[in-house]
Structure 1
Amino acid sequence: MSLGQHLIEFRNRLFVSAIFVFAGAIGGWFLFDPIFQILQAPIVELAAEEGVNATVNFGTVVSAFDVRLQVSIFIGVIGTSPVWLYNIWAFITPGLKKRERRYTLAFVFTALPLFATGVALAWISLPGFVRTLIGFTPEGSANVINASEYILFTLRILLVFGIAFVLPVVLVLLNFASIITAKNIVNSWRLAVFVIALVAALATPTADPMSMFLIMIPLIILYFAAAGIAAINDKRRAKTMSEYDFDLDENLVD
């Protein structure tokens, strides 16, 4: 295909992906009310049970529309991710070798469940985070929470958790691409634990150490699992290379 044909194909796939994202955003528009009720439930329950004066507030005339639009687009992008990821894959796959295609497919099919697991864990932990943070409101004071900031806060936590769970898959992909080895991964465990602790601290905005450990433990397990998979792949690669060298030596002797 010529450059012009590639650009036309890219435009067509982008257009199809945009249609699906738009349709998903329309669905997200109608799902906003139940989702927002779930997100603000920790605040409502805390205010009712413990008498804390806390409420989610829409401070301007257009803020309710703006928040609804942001959440709808977010739902559309996440909900239709299989479609636009497939279109990205279908566009780049003709330029990949057979081995590279296998690696890319393995990455996509492994990364999606891990991302979903991270988001699910964040969703489960979110009420605890919110209750802990609101609990710092001084007695006699009101905690009027800006709805837009609250939504961005919750979406940030969901995304950080999801992306953090995908990072070990990146290590495995780099190993299969012969960029790093299992020894490199294992030798960097101290730095990895520090980075994981930093990510956990950013993702868990509460002072509760158990919230950090809730994120750190599965990430550390995934990190060393990535090292184990890389070690198996390194052994397989070394065995293949030794057999190749042996056959080459035999041919030279003959």
Structure 2
Amino acid sequence: MNRADPPADGELSFMGHLVELRARLLRAVAAVLLILVALVPFANRLYGWLAKPLLEHLPAGGAMIATDVASPFFAPLKLAFFAAVFVAMPFILYQAWAFVSPGLYKHERRLALPLLVSAVTLFYVGCAFAYYLVLPAVFTFMTSVAPAGVAVMPDISRFLDFALILFLAFGFCFEVPVALVILVAIGAVTPEQLVRSRPYTIVGAFVIAAILTPPDVISQLLLAVPMCLLYEVGIIAARLVAQRTATDEADPAREN
């Protein structure tokens, strides 16, 4: 089987690959730094936007505090950095795609590009789901169970770490369909095996949700139920990939 659309200048040398990889990495880092510089003046406003779901659910007179001297400076700056990576992620992944795509078969590129776009989109959707639905539900629960006489005053650094972990948990858990498609594409499992594994997956989703989310039923359900639904979406997508792979194997000319 021959590579489709080989580079015009032939195979790159090992040093050529290293030089290209270095250039791609520098472009990705430069993109993050440029966005970070643009976001730094708005870091405090960005932090206020992130803390809005918490501030709206604090009891009357409640407020956030900074227990470390440097927290008012470093917490917004840390958030600005992660926001820069978040915004630059499509460009970063494009650089990774541009580096590896010349070495892929045509049918591999046909599958990899939609997977890449789907992975980025699902990660963003997971983060948005966590911000608009999960964080308000978690803070409503946490403030409602506080003992009488206890003032709820979260530390800004600890809140930031908590929110980032929650974003990452939901972002990666929403990648279930992409993971299933990859497993089927490499031949590790079949769609029929995924269907038979559905009961174990449901149990596993609730176990993962119990580990990753705070100890309240609402946030656990808000993670476990979407994971189960995304598993079903992944099965449908995996069947389409399996059918496409079978068609390509039956007609090798489609891969050239």
What's the TM-score, normalizing by structure 2? Answer: 0.84
Query: Is structure 2 residue 89 aligned with structure 1 residue 78?
Result: no
Query: Is structure 2 residue 37 aligned with structure 1 residue 37?
Result: no
Change (3 A) 1:10 1:214: same
Ranked by relative contact order (alpha carbons within 8 Å, sequence separation 6 or more), the top structure is 2
What is the count of residue pairs matched by the alignment?
A: 239
Identity fraction in percent:
29
Query: Is structure 2 residue 26 aligned with structure 1 residue 15?
Result: yes
Write the distance in 1 (CA, Å) between the matches of 2:131 and 2:91.
24
Q: Tell me, which stretches of 5 or more residues in structure 2 are unaligned?
A: 1-11, 252-256
Which deviates the most, 141-150 or 76-85? 141-150
Of the candidates 132, 136, 144, which is equivalent to residue 127 of structure 1? 136
Write the distance in 1 (CA, Å) between the matches of 2:154 and 2:210.
22
Write the distance in 2 (CA, Å) between the matches of 1:240 and 1:116.
32
Paired letter, 1:190? P
Query: Is structure 2 residue 57 aligned with structure 1 residue 46?
Result: yes
Write 1 or 2 for the structure with the bigger share of helix: 1
Of the candidates 169, 189, 202, which is equivalent to residue 193 of structure 1? 202
Report the equivalent of 1:248.
none
Cα deviation code 1:183-242 (max 9, x no counterpart): 1211211221122112322343141x333223322221221222123234445555676x
SS state at 1:178 partner: coil
Q: Tell me, which stretches of 5 or more residues in structure 1 are unaligned?
A: 245-254
Paired letter, 1:149? R
SS state at 1:144 partner: coil
Change (3 A) 1:240 1:21: closer
SS state at 1:46 partner: coil
Map 1:61-210; keep pairs closer than 5 Å: 61-125=69-133, 126-207=135-216, 209-210=217-218
RMSD between aligned residues: 2.1
Write the distance in 1 (CA, Å) between the matches of 2:232 and 2:168.
22
Write the distance in 1 (CA, Å) between the matches of 2:162 and 2:46.
15
Deviation at 1:4, TM superposition (A): 1.3
Rg bigger for which structure? 1
Deviation at 1:45, TM superposition (A): 3.1
SS state at 1:138 partner: coil
Write the distance in 2 (CA, Å) between the matches of 1:239 and 1:151.
49
Write the distance in 2 (CA, Å) between the matches of 1:130 and 1:102.
43
Write the distance in 2 (CA, Å) between the matches of 1:233 and 1:83.
26
Paired letter, 1:22? L
